[in-house]
Chains A and B, each alone.
Chain A
Amino acid sequence: MYPFNYHKPETVADAVALFNDADDAMYLSGGMTLIPTMKQRLAAPTDLIDLSGIAEMTGIDVAADKVTVGAFTRHNDVATSGAIGETLPVLAQLAGLIGDNQVRNRGTIGGSLANSDPAADYPAAVIGLGATVHTQERAIAGDEFFQDLFETALQPGEIVTRIEFPVPTRAAYRKFPNPASRYAVVGVLIADFNGAIRVGVTGAGPCAFRASGLEEVLNQNLDPEALEGVEVPDAGFNSDLHASAEYRAHLVKVMARRALNDLLS
């Protein structure tokens, strides 16, 4: 790891000021992605701005129709939150499926979203639930947030501060985990908002996306059988040592069927 200057601001405004003053700064949240990347020298920031001291980025707020999660909330705090478990259980369940216990004790939702790993779990929830990602200067619709492989709508220096999830009538998430890392080879989240269905898919493409073809079919007929005839085109899907594009397209259907079975039961 190359040397860097370390900063630990207490407000978002100070963090942004530090970012703007430095040559080539990066924000540090849980470090579960960034520290391994720096060890490999794939990232070499001159300045590391630790977000862990910023009180306004922490905390979980649960209302009847909306769950707000501070960007610096660790995966295990979402997984074990009684309030989230009651109002938006799919989010707690999804957080509990990330990596392993030690990773969940450090990794944060803001870091996961900003990173936009194609195989990360939270993006399926942001897309599938139609969440809003807040930064210090604007609110970004979940559908607009993920743009490509490791690419988001965030501008340089922009900090994810909190995420707002609308509460659906019911929802379910299923993933096919990589047996070694637990990252999602494919993950599908289906949410029912009073009869309007949203389907968020992660793992399959360069970034998470809405499966509009599946949504169309399920909006007509909310039945696992209805998925049988659907074609999931594999064009643009990831193909790597873990799975071919064709296999990922197949997994989208299988995970969607399992999620739908959970949702209906």
Chain B
Amino acid sequence: MKITLQVNGEPREVDVAENTLLVDVLRVNLGLTGTHVGCDTSQCGACTVHLDGRAVKACTVLAPQADGANVLTIEGIGTPDELHPMQAAFRECHALQCGFCTPGMIMQAIDLVENGDQLDNAAIREGLEGNLCRCTGYHNIVRAIQSVADAG
């Protein structure tokens, strides 16, 4: 079936089978491989993108469910020369090691800062409930998000 989406501000059309996942539309059809697949079982959050402004796990959204929607991926938030403040904070705070979880972490972190109020350490950790990192121990990820939240 034909599906039209806004992806990172640009209209895109793909022709996919009904049982295609949104994450595969992004990675396979559109070549946006910044969105990762870690678990494929809705646990790890590596596939997190914004769907109509809300963080979702793209491995658990069917392509037809996203028909007509607005999708924002890690490729759409900044450029190498002009990083998004959250990307800059992750770099500054050494909030990544292997980097596999990072795109999902950053997309969830942006949702958290945009929608959460009073982001203290506990609220940030709670907000990362759906994102797993095997490397960092989370401490520097929390620091990075805190610094963006504090900067308002």
Listed in ascending order, the chain A residues whose CB lies under 8 Å from chain B are 1-6, 8, 28, 31-32, 35-36, 38-39, 48, 50, 52, 76, 99-103, 105-106, 180-182
Contact = CB atoms under 8 A, between A and B. Distances in A.
A265 B40 CA distance: 43
29 contacts: A3-B18, A4-B18, A4-B19, A6-B1, A6-B62, A8-B64, A28-B62, A31-B61, A35-B42, A35-B60, A35-B61, A35-B62, A36-B41, A39-B40, A48-B62, A50-B64, A100-B131, A101-B108, A101-B111, A101-B127, A102-B45, A102-B56, A102-B57, A102-B130, A103-B42, A105-B51, A106-B57, A181-B43, A182-B129
Residue of A31, A39, A101, A181 ringed by the most chain B CB atoms within 10 A: A101
Contacts of B40: 39
A102 B62 contact: no
Contacts, number: 71
B24 to A, nearest CB: 11
Residue of A1, A50, A105 ringed by the most chain B CB atoms within 10 A: A105
A4 B63 CA distance: 13
B59 to A, nearest CB: 8
A99 B128 CA distance: 11
Given A100-B130, A101-B112, A31 B62 contact: yes
A102 B108 contact: yes
Interface in B31-65: 40-43, 45, 48, 51, 54-57, 60-62, 64-65
Given A101-B108, A103-B42, A31 B19 contact: no
Interface in B93-152: 108, 111-112, 127, 129-131
Interface of B: 1, 17-19, 40-43, 45, 48, 51, 54-57, 60-62, 64-65, 108, 111-112, 127, 129-131
Contacts of A102: 45, 48, 55-57, 108, 130
Contacts of A3: 17-19
Nearest to B49: A102
Residue of B42, B57, B127 ringed by the most chain A CB atoms within 10 A: B42
A65 B94 CA distance: 52
A75 B111 CA distance: 16
A188 to B, nearest CB: 21
B18 A101 contact: no
A182 B127 CA distance: 13
Contacts of A28: 62, 65
Contacts of B48: 102
B60 A106 contact: yes
B41 A39 contact: yes
A106 B56 contact: yes
A33 to B, nearest CB: 9
A5 B17 CA distance: 10
Nearest to A2: B19
Contact of A31 (B65, B127, B130): B65
Contacts of A32: 42, 60
A105 B19 contact: no
A249 B45 CA distance: 33
Nearest to A106: B56
A29 to B, nearest CB: 10
A38 B20 CA distance: 12
Contacts of B19: 1-4, 38
A76 B1 CA distance: 30
A76 B127 CA distance: 13
A6 B18 contact: yes
A1 B54 CA distance: 25
